[in-house]
Amino acid sequence: MRTKQLLLALLLSLIGIHVAEAESYTPVKGGKIVTDDGIYIVTGDNIIPNSDFSEGLTGWKAGDNSDLSADNFEIIPDGGPDGGPCIHALGGAGSSSNQTLKTGWAIESGKTYVFTVWAYRTQSGMSTNTQYSQVWQGNSETDANTEIGMIKYQADTWVQSQFVFTAEKAYFVAKFAWLDAASSFAYFFLAEMEKSNELLKTSLEASIAAAQDVLDTTEEGDEKGQYTTAVRKTLSDAIAAAKNVLDTATTQDEINDAKKALDTAVKTYTASMNPPFKLGVGYTITNVAGSLSLTSGDGTVRIATPDFADSTQVFYFEKAPEGAEAVGYNMRDANGTYIWRSGSWDTKSGETTLTAKNAIFNVVEYDTFVQIKNEGSGSVLGVDKTTNNSEVYSNKGGTSSKNCWILVKHTPTAALESAIEKAEDVASSAEVGTEYYQVPQSALDELNAAITTAKDALLTITTPDEAKVAVAALEAAIVKFNGSFNPLPDFANGETYTVTHYGGCLLTTTESGNATITTKEETGASDEQLMVLEKATYQDMTDVYYVKSVANGSYLVRDGNYNTKWRADRDTLAAIIQVCRLEGKWLGMKFVSTSTFLGVDGQGSGSKTYSDKAGVGNTGAYWTIDAYVAIVLDRVAFNAAVTKAQDALAAMKPGYKTGEYFQEDIDAFSKVISKAKSDANKAQSQEALDAITSQLLADIDVYVAKAHDRDYLNVTALKAEVDKAKATLDKSVAGDCNGQFPQEAIDKYDAVYKAAAAVLADENSTQEQVDEATETLKAAAAEFAAAKVVIDFSELNFAITDAQTIVKDKADFVGEGPGRYSPEKYEALKTAIAAAQAIAKSNEVNQKTVDKETETLIDKTNEFVESFVDNDYSELQALVEQAEELIRKAEAGEIECDPQDLQDLKDSYERNSAALESKDQNVIDRAVKILRRDIEIFNNITTGISLIPAGTAVKVFTINGLFVADSLDRHFTPGIYVIRYSVDGKQVARKVRMR
C-alpha cells in the first residue's frame, strides 16, 4: 500500500466530495442535490437493482466477477443507518478477490448522474486500507479505469458519500476492496439528474470575501514582499467584476465562470508579490550545502567553483511572456542562455520555449535563503552531490541545504577582481628560464604590467560593461603569457620520465593493468612510476607518442568509452597520444582516436585515470612531463636474453597434457621477464646489468624445463569454485534478516560444495567428473545468491517521509484547545518516526518487523491527524456582534463619538470579522485580541490626559502598538496614542489625542 494514498483518503474522509446533508437516506426523484457548481434536480429512478439488499445478495458481484457469496458477505437485516438492512464484509482482500465488492451498472455517456451510498467502518478498520473503497467509470461492468472518487468513512459511524458526475464511459462501477471485515454499506443510489434553474451563489460569495481579505491584508509598494499598484488594481477590478456577476447573473454557468475567474485572479495576484530580486540585476546563485555557484555550463545546469568572471554564473530574472502557461520568471545567464526543466528531473540550458511551464521559475524566500521552484515540476532546484560540476535537478522537495540557495547581486567590478586574482596566481607560479615549463623574463614583466593596469582600472569602473573591457584586456594578457612558454622538446629521446599530475601524484602502472596516479616516494620514483615516450605517427600531427611503462614494458591505451589500461603491445590506435600544451606549463595527453584527454576525477593517491576528459580549463587533465636521470649501459646482451625469454614464453602452451605448462608457471615466467626488465632499467652499473642478464638466462632454462612429463587433470576451475563456495558459506548467516540466508538454502549449497570438494580431493577423479562437479557447483552458487534475503523497506520509508512532512507542516498547530492537534499524539508520532528510522537503517530486522513498524507508524500518523480539535469561533463571534451593536448605536446617535473613532472601530470590525472564515486558530485568536482591544479603546475614548488619575503608572503606545514611553512627563509628537494603566486592579486602555 502507499501511505500517501492512505493519508489522502483520510483527508477526503474529513472534507468529503460533493456531500449534501440528506433529509432521507437516499435522494428522491424530483428532489434537490446541492454541489459546489450548482443545484441539481433528480430526474430518474434508481437504476441499481436490489439497492437496499431486500433480496439478499442477488445482483451483486465480487472482484473476480463471481456472485457475492455468503462466505464473504452477509446481510444484516437491522444493521443499517436507519435500522434497515445493510451488507457487511466478512473479510478483505485485493481488487480481484471474491472478498471485494465490485459491481457495475450501465449509464449513458453525456448524461449527469448522482451516486450516493452509506458506509460504516469500525475504529480498528480505520487504520489501513480505507483508500481502496472507490467508485469508477469503465467500459464494462468489470472495468474500472477512470476514478470518480473514494468512499468517505468515519470510525464507528454511518456516513453518506455523494458523487455528482457526467458520464464519459458506458458503466459506473463500485469497487470496494480490502474491506477487512470492518466495513458495511447500505442504500446504494444511482440516478440521472439535471441542473436546476435555481442559482447557487454561496461559493462565489465565499470567493469574493476571500479575495477581498487577500487584498486588504497585503501592502502596496515596490519593495520586496509588497505588490505593485498595477497588480493590486487588477485584483480589485476582478473583485468588482465578480460582485457585478453576483448581482446580475441569470444562469449558474455565469456564477461558476465568475468564481473560476476570481479564483484565478487571486492565484495570479499572490504569485505577483514583489520577488526577493530586482529585474535587470544580475545575481550569483550559491548552493547552501556546497558553497558552489549555479552555472548554465555546457548545456546541463550544474554547480561549480565560483568564478565571478564566468558569465555562465551570473543570472538575470525576466518576467515570463504574456500568455505563458504559468506566472513567474524566466532565468538566463549573462550570455542570454536560458535554463529549463527537461524530462522528469534534469535541468538544461540553451534555447527553449519561454512560455512553457518548464522554463518558468518562482523564487520562494525564507529568512536566510531562497528556493527556486520550477512551475513545470512544482518542485525546487537542488543537487544530490555537492562537488564541483555536480548536476542540478528540478524535482527536489523539502528544505535540505542541498535544495537551498543564496542570491547575491553581481557587482560591476566582481569579474575584474576575479580576473586580477587569477592573473596574479599565474604570475606567481611562473618560472623564468629556457625549459618548456618556463618563460622568458620579458613575458613575465609584460603580464605584471597588465595586472597593474587592471588594478588601476578598479578605482574608476562603475558599470559591468566597463569591467568587461578591463577583464578582456587582462585575459588577453594571460593568453599571451601562456603562449610565451618555451617550445616543447622531443620527448622520444630515450630518456626516462615521470608524468606528474596537477595534484602532485605520478602516472603509475599497476599489476591489475589499470592506470592510476600514486604518490612519489621520498627515495625516488618507482619503476611503476617511470615512463618512456616512444615516437608515433598519426596523420600530420606533431608531438605524437606511445607512453611505455618502464616497469613491465606495457603501453598506456584508451579502454572502452572512458577507461584506461596498460597493454602489452602498442598495436592499436587507442595507444597513440599527442602531448599538447593546455594552459601555461600544464600539458595535456590527448588520445588521438577520440580527441579527449587523460585525466582523473580525484587527485588522491590511487585514483584511476580516464580517457574521456576535457582539456583546457579542467585541471583533472593537467600534467607535466619531467626527465628522470637514467644511466646509459651496454644492453646488447640483456636485450638478446630478453628476446630469448620472450620467444620461450610465446612457445609455452597452457594445458594439462604432456609437453604443456600449467598456466601459473607461464604467468610466473612472464613476471620473471618483467622483473628482469625493471631491474635492468634501474641498474646503476654494467656489472649489475650483466648479473641480471645471467640470472634471466638461468631462469629461461628453469621454466622451459617445467613442461609436463605426463598428463594432468585440469582442476583449476573446480578449485576456484570450491574456494569461492567455502568463502561464501563461511560468511553466510542463517536467518530472515537483510543479507542473511534461509537455513535450507545454506544446507543445500553446503551439500553441493562438499560433493565438489570430494571430487577435487579424489586422485582417481576423471576429467569428466571434474567438469561436471564444476558446472553443478556454479549452478548451486547462482541459486544460493538468489536466495539471499533482501528486506523491502520502501513502504516504511514512504511512511516515514509522509509522517515527517506532517510533523513539519503541523508543528505550529500543536497544543491544547481549538484549532490544535494533540501534543501527546504529536510526541507519540515523533517517537514513532524515530523508531521507524532506526528500523529502516537496521540490517538486523526481518520483513515481518518492518511491515509491523510500517503499520504502527501509519496508525500513529492517522491518530495524530484525527486528534485535531475544531476551531473555536465563539469568542470572536461575540466580539463581532458587540462591535456591530456599538457601530449601530453610534450611527443612530445613541453614543457620542468622534467620526474618526467610529471609522477606526468600523475598520477593525471589517478586518477582524473576516477571521470568521479562517481555518487557522492563530488568525482567529489574533482577531479576538485586536478586536477586543479596539472595542475597549472605543469605549474608553478621551481627548486628553486629564481623565487619567495623577501619579498613575502608564505605558504609551502608538496606534500600531509600538511602545513609546512609560511616562506622560515628556513631549509627544501630535497625534493619536494608546495609553494603558491600571485602576483598582483593572487594566484600562484609552485612546488619547496629543495636541
Q: Which of 820, 850, 866 is the last residue of a domain?
A: 866
The CA distances from residue 433 to 136, 440, 484, 501, in Å, are 84, 6, 12, 22
pLDDT score recorded for residue 10: 34
Q: Please state the rounded mean pLDDT for residues 469-479.
A: 90
pLDDT score recorded for residue 16: 31
Residue 206 half-sphere exposure, CB side, CA atoms within 13 Å?
Answer: 10
Q: Are residues 660 and 729 in the same domain?
A: no
Q: Are residues 524 and 457 in the same domain?
A: no
Q: Are residues 693 and 764 in the same domain?
A: no
Q: Are residues 747 and 846 in the same domain?
A: no
454: domain CATH number? 1.20.1270.90
Q: Please state the rounded mean pLDDT for residues 82-104.
A: 92
Going by pLDDT thresholds of 50, 70 and 90, the confidence category of residue 308 is low
Q: Please state the rounded mean pLDDT for residues 734-757.
A: 91
Q: Please state the rounded mean pLDDT for residues 929-949.
A: 74
Q: Please state the rounded mean pLDDT for residues 554-578.
A: 94
Q: Please state the rounded mean pLDDT for residues 642-647.
A: 95
Domain-located, residue 369: yes
Q: Distance between alpha carbon 505 and the CA centroid of its chain, in Å?
A: 36
pLDDT score recorded for residue 71: 94
117: domain CATH number? 2.60.120.260
Q: Please state the rounded mean pLDDT for residues 876-901.
A: 86
Report pLDDT digits (tens) over 911-922: 998 888 888 888
pLDDT score recorded for residue 544: 96
Task: Please say if the pLDDT value at position 148 is more than 90.
Answer: yes
- How much of the chain, in percent, has pLDDT values that exceed 70? 95
Q: Which triple of cell numbers denotes residue 57?
A: 445478495
804: domain CATH number? 1.20.1270
Greatest alpha-carbon pair distance for the chain in Å reads: 130
Q: Are residues 773 and 799 in the same domain?
A: no
Measured distance CA(179)–CA(174) in Å, rounded: 13
Phi, psi (rounded to 5 degrees) for 46:
-60, 120
User: Exposed (0-12), middle (13-18) or buried (19+): which is 11, by Cβ within 10 Å?
Assistant: exposed
Give the three-state DSSP class for 176: strand
Going by pLDDT thresholds of 50, 70 and 90, the confidence category of residue 21 is very low
User: Exposed (0-12), middle (13-18) or buried (19+): which is 895, by Cβ within 10 Å?
Assistant: middle
Domain-located, residue 932: no
Q: What is the count of structural domains for the chain? A: 9
Q: Which triple of cell numbers denotes residue 798?
A: 514512504
pLDDT score recorded for residue 360: 92
CB 341 within 8 A of CB 347: yes
Task: Please say if the pLDDT value at position 588 is more than 60.
Answer: yes
Measured distance CA(940)–CA(706) in Å, rounded: 117
Domain-located, residue 592: yes
Domain-located, residue 68: yes
Report pLDDT digits (tens) over 340-371: 888 888 898 887 788 888 899 988 888 778 89
pLDDT score recorded for residue 13: 34
Q: Please state the rounded mean pLDDT for residues 876-904.
A: 86
DSSP label of 321: P
Closest CA to 187 of 284, 299, 79, 51: 51
Q: Please state the rounded mean pLDDT for residues 942-969.
A: 75
Q: Are residues 549 and 599 in the same domain?
A: yes
pLDDT score recorded for residue 105: 96
Domain-located, residue 876: no
Q: Distance between alpha carbon 975 and the CA centroid of its chain, in Å?
A: 54
Q: Are residues 599 and 724 in the same domain?
A: no
Q: Are residues 808 and 948 in the same domain?
A: no
Helix H or strand E encompassing 3: helix 3-15
CB 933 within 8 A of CB 911: no
- How much of the chain, in percent, has pLDDT values that exceed 90? 42
Q: Which triple of cell numbers denotes residue 539?
A: 596523420
Task: Please say if the pLDDT value at position 40 is more than 80.
Answer: yes
Q: Which of 226, 242, 270 is the last residue of a domain?
A: 270
Domain-located, residue 880: no
Q: Are residues 393 and 420 in the same domain?
A: no
Going by pLDDT thresholds of 50, 70 and 90, the confidence category of residue 85 is very high
Q: Which triple of cell numbers denotes residue 175?
A: 469497487
Domain-located, residue 927: no
Q: Are residues 365 and 381 in the same domain?
A: yes
515: domain CATH number? 2.80.10.50
Domain with 595, as residue range(s), is 496-628
The CA distances from residue 665 to 225, 644, 717, in Å, are 80, 17, 16
Q: Are residues 254 and 341 in the same domain?
A: no
Domain-located, residue 767: yes
Q: Which triple of cell numbers denotes residue 167?
A: 458520464
Q: Which triple of cell numbers denotes residue 188?
A: 446504494
Q: Which of 248, 270, 292 is the last residue of a domain?
A: 270
Q: Are residues 100 and 147 in the same domain?
A: yes
Give the three-state DSSP class for 504: coil
pLDDT score recorded for residue 962: 81
